[in-house]
Amino acid sequence: MIKAGTDIHLQDPRFEERTLRAGSVVSDDDDHVIGGFEAEAVPAEAGDTLLLYYEENRHFVQQAVEVLEVVEREPSLLLALGPLGDPVLAESRQRYRVTTVNAGVTACIGEEDDRPVLDVSVTGFSALLEERHAPGTVLPVMLRHGEEAYVGRAIVVDLRDHEGGLKYGMRPVETDTEDGRDLERGLTEINLAVQRAQLRRT
């Protein structure tokens, strides 16, 4: 986890306005940190999923976190934050993304089954859904490719209108659990399989 004294920025992905609220890590533990922010920086409650940004090894990274406890609201906002998955470079997904439109990759996400997956990278994927979910929502996921299926949970990073529905950008969470590792492994295997198939056609 992040060390005490690190400058951090907090974003509530439930709101369309993507404002980053500056703060710092007040204290750190093995499985969570206490982040300090201006009072009313975000209307956070225990159980909320937020996005944390900070610099690590000279890279700006994004970390999905769960609010474990609102420690204090006045005179400053103190939040106990636990990580959901691993941090990723803010722009890392773009570099490794491959299109899967014609690769037969589908997903069951939430209560929607057999939804088309549009692209896959080793850190996330995008899919076309009909229902609207706010950024920050964590949903159960099953990815299918050929005869293989991979299950886990993923967080909604962003969404936008798209022909045929809503295009969701998603990233696996809880990658320290068996299901989380399964979904993460599936992303890697699908990404490599699609790349190999594309190379055979060139």
For residue 195, what pLDDT is reported? Answer: 77
For residue 81, what pLDDT is reported? Answer: 96
For every one of its 202 residues, what pLDDT tens digit does the chain have, with 9 covering 90 and above?
689 999 888 888 776 555 678 889 999 998 899 999 988 778 889 999 888 888 887 677 888 899 999 999 989 999 999 998 888 766 544 445 788 988 999 999 999 999 999 999 888 899 999 999 988 899 999 999 999 999 999 999 888 899 889 999 998 887 666 766 789 889 988 988 887 776 555 4
**Does 72 reside within a domain?**
yes
For residue 87, what pLDDT is reported? Answer: 83
For residue 22, what pLDDT is reported? Answer: 83
What is the CATH number for 113?
2.40.10.430
Yes or no: say if 106 and 115 are a contact pair by the CB < 8 Å rule.
Answer: yes
Q: Which two tokens stand for residue 145?
A: 């490719």
Q: Tell if the pTM clears 0.75, that is, is over it.
A: no
Helix (H, G, I), strand (E, B) or coil at 120: strand
Instruction: Among 89, 105, 136, give the residue marking a domain's end.
Output: 89
Domain around 78: 7-89
End-to-end CA distance of the chain: 43
Instruction: Among 33, 56, 89, give the residue marking a domain's end.
Output: 89
Q: How far apart are CA 121 and CA 119, in angstroms?
A: 7
**Does 143 reside within a domain?**
yes
**Count of domains in the chain?**
2
Instruction: Among 55, 89, 123, give the residue marking a domain's end.
Output: 89
Yes or no: say if 116 and 86 are a contact pair by the CB < 8 Å rule.
Answer: no
Cα dihedral 63, 86, 14, 115 sign: positive
Question: Are residues 80 and 97 both part of a single domain?
Answer: no
